[in-house]
Amino acid sequence: MPGMSDPVPSPTLPPVILVHGFASSSDHNWVRPGWRDALESRGHRVVLMDLPGHGGNASPGGGLAAVGQLTELAGSYPAVDLVGFSAGARACALAAASGQVAVRRLVLAGLGDGSLAGADRGSDRAAMSMTGPLDEADIRGRLFRRMAATAGNDPEALEAFLAAPAGDLTPEVLARIAGPTLLIIGERDHLGPADQLAASLPDSELVTLPRIDHFATTGRLESIMATLRFLAQ
Q: What is the mean pLDDT of residues 141-169?
A: 90
Q: What is the mean pLDDT of residues 177-194?
A: 97
The CA distance from 82 to 104, in Å, is 8
pLDDT of residue 186: 98
What is the tens place of the pLDDT at every residue in 189-217? Answer: 999 999 999 999 999 999 999 999 999 99
What is the tens place of the pLDDT at every residue in 63-77? Answer: 999 999 999 999 999
Helix (H, G, I), strand (E, B) or coil at 198: helix
Facing residues of 206 across strands? 183
Residue 2's pLDDT band (boundaries 50, 70, 90)? very low
pLDDT of residue 124: 66
Q: What is the mean pLDDT of residues 96-117?
A: 97
Query: Which residue in 27, 55, 51, 57 sits closest to 153, CA to CA?
Result: 55
Cα angle 54, 59, 60 (rounded to 5 degrees) comes to 90
Question: Contact 67/95 with Cβ under 8 angstroms?
Answer: yes
**What is the C-alpha R_g of the chain?**
17
pLDDT of residue 135: 76
Say whether pLDDT at 122 is over 60. Answer: no
Q: What is the mean pLDDT of the chain?
A: 92
| Residue of 119 and 19 predicted with greater confidence | 19
pTM over the 0.85 mark? yes
Question: Contact 232/81 with Cβ under 8 angstroms?
Answer: no
Question: Contact 212/187 with Cβ under 8 angstroms?
Answer: yes
User: What proportion of the chain, given as a percentage, has pLDDT over 70?
Assistant: 94
pLDDT of residue 141: 83
Residue 121's pLDDT band (boundaries 50, 70, 90)? low
Facing residues of 106 across strands? 82, 181
Say whether pLDDT at 4 is over 60. Answer: no
pLDDT of residue 123: 54
Q: From 3.40.50.720, 3.40.109.10, 3.30.360.10, 3.40.50.1820, which CATH number describes the 16-231 domain? A: 3.40.50.1820
